Amino acid sequence: MSVLKKLTIRNLKLNRKRTITTIIGIMLSTALICATFGLGTSFQKSLLQDAIKSSGDYHATFYHIPKEEQKYITENRQIDSYFITQDLGYAEIEKELPDSYNRYWLIKQYDEKALTNNGVQLVEGRLPENENEILIQDRAADYSNQEYQIGDMMHLKIGERYSSTGEKLGVTNPLETTEDDEQVLEKFVPTGEEKEYKIVGIMKRPSSELEPYYAPFLVCITYLPEDKIVGNADISVKYKDVTKTYEITEEISKQNGEENSYEYITNGDVLRWSGVSKSANIATTLYVVVGIVVGIIIFSSVFVIRNSFRIMITEKYRQYGMLASIGATSKQIKRNVLQEAFYLGAIAIPLGILGSLLAVFILVLLVQNLIGEYANMEFTFYFPWMAILIGTILSIVTIYLSSIIPARKAAKISPIEAIRSNTEIKINRKKIQAPKWVKKLFKIGGLISYKNLKRSKKQYRTTVISIVVSIAIFLALTSIIQYAFGFTDIYYYENIGYNIVVRSEEEENEKILQQYNEISKIEGIEQYSIQKMAYITIGKEYDNKELAEYYGESQSDRTIPMIAIEDKYYDELVQKLGISKEEARTGAILADNVSYYKDNKYTTSNQFTIKEGETIKCYQENLEEREEETPIENKKQMEIKILKRLGEEQTIGIGRGTHCLIVTEEFLQNHMPNYRISNMYIQAENPDEFSKELDTMEKIGYTNYNESLKETRAIRTVIYIFVYGFIAVITLIGVTNIFNTITTNMLLRSKEFAMLKSVGMTAKEFNNMIRLESIFYGLKSLIIGLPIGLLLSYALYKGFGTSMEITYQIPWASIGIAVLFVFIIVFITMKYSLNKINKQNIIETIRNDNI
């Protein structure tokens, strides 16, 4: 080992703290890059697997291929593998299913490979092994109360669907009926063929490509032996090069000429997650977002690595000068610097990769546990080879670039200059001039702090930028969360006051009330409300012309419910609105907020031009006769005073977007004797348990909102983890930068500090000076960082603003956190270096540097 090499290693060992912070910086950067790409890979692969599982492992399907032409597809060189399916025909479902829309079976035949590769998701039993065995879907098994079960035999008369005009109907044709859906027009014509199948398994509903949502049939699948492939088969293919899917498919479909081209579909889900997309729109948005995130990460990473190296070389400036003075060539010095970079990279990059693998693994596990169930898919960890490669290359390039520049500089050092000056920076008198007030206000300590900040501009700029990046990202991301969550249902559902809505199927009010009373006795209810309501129509004179214009005359519905809630809730609501209980009983509260899309923007308005306090004319509706359109003159007319309009306030069962008049029960009974009892809103302690109780009751329907709440909460948690995880890592990188810069700067100045002390600066004065410096420093970062962050958050608001009507809110809380954070970090770092410096002996420090 050469002396220079030994020197490098000894240096790294001696400056242990510096070495460690540099390693941490490289580690974090590598880890962040790897983790970003790694997470992307894992999610993309998981989604691809999910797509393959549910829609099949193929890229395209060609339909109705005649026997003699099949080999031109199956033997095409671009094809990796293929499978064949064919439709045997329809058969009527003999047993009565609750959903009468489904009246046929569609019998599909799958060859060996299709059974395993065409998205068949077995729930129970096994795949068919011969042409007398069949798979049915779980809907058929559920619907019929298990009338179709594994082991049952099905006797099917095969046939075709024909329309009333005599055309053959296919998979994509919905059920042909009369206008009012009362009668079925299409005909089933048996071909005479009859089949006997044994049910051997139950599968999930196949993808919508096979069975559209409107399809009047249930797909069932049987085995297709090779010799039974007829002249009308569907061939699904997988290409060797998925990225060429669209071109090859087009090419194959037209191999017999334009007019004889094959019908085909491409497997959109699988292609999308394979990164192949025809419509670039969504993909582009996604790429832009990912690009920005990756850009920020790379930017910060490059920064921290670059900074670390610059600092390291600054510290050793003298040493390089010394080496040069005893005859080391520029080449040797350069090699020395690069060698150091190499050692650091060799330690830090593998550590960073390991860390990122661990982080990705944990994150995928977390996501799987949190939302796997709701998303109905499996998130799996995939070893991200590409991510590791990209991360490693990026880190190496960054390290190389960040060390080659200082290395060149180090190589150019003239020995005398290096030995004599103790800083890298040539001080320029003009640049460090301080205004008079600095000294007046902050004394000599302030003057020195101020001038030092000016002197180390470059170094501080790096750090200021990293703090600025952290602040800006923090502000922007917290704004995103605020906007994104403010306008999803999450907030809404959390505060809605109920988690179960019960509807009675009874007709008469007494019976309904009886049922509801019974329910109210079930244990575990935190609060409940039984709503009573009737319909009224508001006079035409109150129509909001602008809205009518927007929606079109016919759309503006002036008939709205008058809803009565219990006095308890009513009083709570009127208190929020600022009306007295007594006054509140003289009229109704109007809820008629509308938000609509106009001029590329959501705008809010009111459906009626009613003013608060106005007494309006309206007409009583008869619930039963509503359909018949009684002329308005014949309806009972009445006058109702509108007390207030509902804004953002909500009460149990009446949330945003509901259009109604809210009144007391007494008011409703007095004005609308024809009222009926509608829903019961329940806030249950344990909604899932409560639902089970409701299941046992007759003539009751209900919706449990807890599921959707749980789901949205889980999604939110995942988003939080990612967003705050991202902020945390970026901040960590920032902190590493800050720590690096400040400690170095302090150490470089230790001789100056010793001087100040030797001419009589007390410890207290010294600490004050440093504190002042951190304040200057933190302030500067904030002065730059906060406006940029706010600008970003405002830009995001503008971005969201086009689709939502919201007022911009300055994120004071986030600003507060950012300010606090910056000062805490700066102070802690300064404190750390101070402790180190204060421990040093004045004389030793001065002597050290004089050698």
List contacts with other proteins (CB under 8 A): 421-423, 426-427, 429, 432, 439, 443-444, 447-448, 451-452, 454-455, 751-752, 755-765, 841-843, 846-847, 849-850
Report which of 562, 566, 514 is spatially closest to residue 700, judged by C-alpha positions. 514
Q: How far is the CB of 757 from other proteins (least distance, A)?
A: 7
Structure tokens belonging to residue 679: 């829903």
Angle formed at CA 493 by CA 502 and CA 365, multiple of 5 degrees: 110
Alpha helices in 605-705 (DSSP H): 665-671, 687-695
Nearest-approach distance from CB 829 to other proteins, in angstroms? 21
Nearer to other proteins, 139 or 771 (CB): 771
> CB-wise, 285 or 758, nearer to other proteins?
758
Q: Which helix (H) or strand (E) holds 639?
A: strand 637-645
Classify 654 as helix, strand or coil: strand
CB of 850 vs other proteins, minimal distance in Å: 5
DSSP codes, 132-187: TEEEEEHHHHHHTTTSS-TT-EEEEEEEEEE-TTSPEE-TT----B-TTS-SB--E
Tokens representing 473 are 């990202």
What is the closest distance, in whole angstroms, from the C-beta atom of residue 841 to other proteins in the complex? 7
Classify residue 819 as left (phi > 0), alpha (psi -120 to 50) or beta.
alpha
Nearer to other proteins, 394 or 834 (CB): 834
Closer residue to other proteins in complex, CB, 408/420? 420
Give pairs for 204-209: CB < 8 Å, separation 24+. 204/54, 204/121, 204/123, 204/137, 204/138, 205/137, 205/138, 205/139, 206/119, 206/120, 206/137, 207/54, 207/55, 207/56, 207/119, 209/55, 209/265, 209/267
Shortest Å, Cβ 363 to other proteins: 48
Whole-angstrom Cα distance, residue 164 to residue 215?
Answer: 18
Q: Could you tell me if 783 and 839 are in contact, meaning their C-beta atoms sit under 8 angstroms apart?
A: no
| Ramachandran class of 845: left when φ > 0, alpha when ψ lies in -120 to 50, beta otherwise | alpha
Closest CB to other proteins among residues 457, 836:
457
Q: Output the smallest distance, CB 432 to other proteins, in A.
A: 6
Residue pointed to by tokens 């004005």:
671
Alpha carbon 140 to chain centroid distance? 35
Of residues 452 and 515, the one with the C-beta less far from other proteins: 452
Structure tokens given for 56:
């099949």
Minimum gap (Å) between residue 447 Cβ and other proteins: 7
In the complex, the smallest distance separating the C-beta of residue 446 from other proteins, rounded to whole angstroms, is 11
| Separation of alpha carbons 598 and 518, rounded Å | 48
Cβ at position 413, least distance to other proteins in Å: 16
Euclidean distance between the first and the last CA atom of the chain, given in angstroms as a whole number: 28
Find, among 534, 790, 760, 541, the residue nearest to 662 by Cα: 534
Q: Which amino acid is at 235?
A: I
Gap between the Cα atoms of 811 and 480, Å rounded: 11
CB of 336 to other proteins, least distance (A): 27
Shortest CB 796 distance to other proteins, Å:
42
Separation between Cα atoms, residue 33 and residue 743, nearest integer Å: 26
Grouping H, G, I as helix, E, B as strand and the rest as coil, residue 600 is: coil
* 421 or 704: CB nearest other proteins: 421
Q: Sign of the CA dihedral 356, 362, 365, 371?
A: negative
Of 520 and 841, CB closest to other proteins = 841
Helix H or strand E segment including 221 = strand 217-223
Distance (Å, whole) CA 200 – CA 131? 12
C-beta atoms surrounding 441 within 10 Å: 10
| Nearest to other proteins of 575, 762 (CB atom) | 762
Instruction: Give the C-alpha distances (Å, rounded to integers) separating 161 from 100, 152, 172, 612, 645.
Output: 16, 26, 12, 60, 56
Least distance from other proteins to the Cβ atom of residue 406, Å: 21
606-644: string of b/e by CB count within 10 Å (b at 16+)?
bbbebeeeeebebbbbeeeeeeeeeeeeebeeeebebbb
Residue 697 vs 755, nearer CB to other proteins: 755
- Residue 758 Cβ vs other proteins, minimum distance, rounded to whole Å: 5
In the bound state with other proteins, the residue whose beta carbon lies nearer, of 573 and 761, is 761
The two three-digit tokens of residue 743, written as one number: 């400690």
Vertex 104: Cα angle to 100 and 108 (nearest 5): 145
Give the Cα separation of 793 and 782 in Å (integer). Answer: 15
Could you tell me if 270 and 56 are in contact, meaning their C-beta atoms sit under 8 angstroms apart? yes
Short-list 538, 532, 519, CA closest to 569 = 532
* Shortest spacing between CB 347 and other proteins, in angstroms: 35
Rounded distance, CA 848 to CA 851, Å? 6
Residue 434 beta carbon to other proteins: minimum distance, rounded to whole angstroms: 9
- Least gap, CB of 439 to other proteins (angstroms): 8
**Least CB distance to other proteins at residue 764 (A):** 6
Smallest separation, CB 754 to other proteins (Å): 8
